[in-house]
């Protein structure tokens, strides 16, 4: 598969420009609200306290996630809002994004696990990065999810 080349940008919300955060929110709303047809609170109280990871391809935002500090979403660090913009899917952006986030998380909080609320259809994707399911399937905003833990 062709592999897209990405430039990673890590920042707290206050260190992103308005244009950068807008680009992230456009993709988050496009994917999680519009594409997944889900009415829920997309911008929330984690945004001001999380790390944001923007993956750029030229001037376009190709992929994005946020990394919540321990004690904010879960007791452990927690990845969320993992997305690849539709135009960049199937080119390894999701793989590179996850690898970068886990590398950074291990650097920030050595030895700490990462706990996520994963959409069930991506179980295998996350298992490939060392996450294991630790809950039954549950509905979050009407979408089937599984809690998964990656040991530190
Ligand atoms: C999940 C997502 C980020 C993957 O992004 P991507 O850049 O296309 O992924 P990659 O090209 O790096 O592929 C990585 C792996 O993801 C998995 N994957 C991607 N799309 C998938 C799908 N629709 N169903 C199941 N697995 C999928 C596969 O395991 C794939 O590996 P493979 O190509 O060896 O089979 C992207 O499909 C997306 O943004 N989905 C919508 C948002 C979402 O549901 N986010 C997760 C919230 S928990």
The alpha carbon of 150 and the centre of ligand 1 are apart by a number of angstroms equal to 18
The alpha carbon of 117 and the centre of ligand 1 are apart by a number of angstroms equal to 15
Q: Say which DSSP state 34 is in.
A: I
146 lines ligand 1 (CB under 6 A): no
pLDDT in tens, 98-130: 999 999 999 999 999 999 999 999 999 999 999
Domains of the chain: residue spans and CATH: 7-112 (3.40.630.30)
Helical segments of the chain, H only: 18-28, 93-108, 123-127
The alpha carbon of 20 and the centre of ligand 1 are apart by a number of angstroms equal to 23
Give the global pTM.
0.97
pLDDT band at 2 (very low <50, low <70, confident <90, very high): confident
Closest Cα to atom 46 of ligand 1: 82
């Amino acid at each position: 598969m062709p592999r897209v080349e990405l430039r990673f940008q890590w920042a707290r919300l206050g260190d992103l420009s308005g244009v950068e955060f807008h680009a992230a929110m456009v993709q988050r709303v496009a994917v999680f609200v519009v594409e997944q047809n889900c009415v829920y609170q997309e911008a929330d109280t984690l945004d001001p306290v999380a790390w944001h990871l923007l993956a750029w391809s030229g001037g376009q935002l190709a992929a994005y996630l946020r990394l919540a500090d321990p004690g904010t979403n879960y007791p452990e660090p927690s990845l969320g809002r993992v997305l690849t913009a539709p135009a960049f899917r199937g080119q390894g952006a999701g793989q590179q994004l996850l690898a970068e986030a886990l590398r950074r998380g291990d650097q920030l909080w050595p030895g700490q696990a990462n706990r996520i609320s994963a959409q069930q259809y991506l179980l295998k994707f996350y298992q490939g990065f060392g996450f294991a399911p630790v809950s039954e399937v549950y509905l979050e905003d009407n979408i089937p999810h599984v809690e998964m833990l990656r040991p530190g």
